[in-house]
Amino acid sequence: MKTYPLTTHYKKIIADTITPVSIYLKLRDKFPNSLLLESSDYHANDNSFSYICCNPIASIKVSNENITKVYPDGNQEIITIDTDTDVSQQIHLFSKCFERDQNEFKFINNGLFGYIAYDAVRYFEDVEIQKKKGSLEIPDIYYAIYQNIIAINHFNNEAYIFAHCNGNESNIDEIEHLLKVKNFAAYNFSIEGDITSNLNDEEFKQNVEKAKQHCFRGDVFQLVLSRRFSQKFKGDEFNVYRALRSINPSPYLFYFDYGDFKIFGSSPEAQLVVDKG
């Protein structure tokens, strides 16, 4: 297994006049496919960090029963998923391909950033998932390693610019220059047509009745029924994220830009917390 050494460079800056949103807006045109992980819980030092990740150098994607790994040197590996494929092990092996510098920081400054969709449960549990017509055609799992990570400590009004380099020079000065720029491009947003849904009211009620029967039989102890609403639009979808964080302010917010699709949301609590490794 080939390994890719990553040399870490960093610089600390004062962050009392910048916000995660303003940083993201200044970087996204120069570095497309960037991520924003935002925390608004500044009361304790443990949960006071926001992160902007940009400049992806490697990725692992699970889509259409294939695992696609892309490495910093441009090499690509595709694995067809069958009954013997351990998806979680493949993700673990991918992460082990990168040798990172050890550092003294207690907060996240490198690693895999991305998401796992609900339908990916079939790769970890004996659950059969049948995608229906109209399902979103996005990867079940997508993780990437980013050359640049900006970690913002809201508690101390500090930010750290990291550059994880695989044989190339650090671009910290370039990013710091972009952060000092006072202006950034703004794009309009407008909706088109009416809101549509994948279920009508009667179909959703039928699903509720089915869920109640499963509960009565003891098949499950909890079910979360969802209904997808869609709205056509023109312009910049990041404006929707900005509206969401205003309408539904939460301690944890995220906006992931993958080019062809975006994922964003807000949550009142962390789903998973890892303490001391």
Sign of CA dihedral 267, 272, 275, 276: negative
Q: What is the distance between the terminal CA atoms of the chain, rounded to a whole angstrom?
A: 25
The CATH number given to 4-187+236-267 is 3.60.120.10
User: If residue 144 lies in a helix (H) or strand (E), which one and from where to where?
Assistant: strand 141-153
User: CA-CA distance, 16 to 130, in Å (whole number)?
Assistant: 49
Quote the pTM value.
0.89
Q: What angle do CA 225, 229, 230 make, to 5 degrees?
A: 150
Please report, in tens digits, the pLDDT of each residue of the chain (277 residues total): 799 999 999 999 999 999 999 999 999 999 999 999 998 766 655 668 999 999 999 999 999 999 999 999 999 999 999 989 999 999 999 999 999 888 888 888 888 999 999 889 889 988 887 776 557 789 999 999 999 999 999 988 999 999 999 989 999 999 999 999 888 888 899 999 999 999 999 999 999 999 999 999 998 877 889 899 999 999 999 999 999 999 988 888 999 999 999 999 988 766 666 666 5
> Please, where in the chain does CATH 3.60.120.10 lie?
4-187+236-267
The set of residues, in sequence order, having a beta carbon less than 8 Å from that of 172 and lying 6+ positions away, is 9, 10, 11, 161, 163
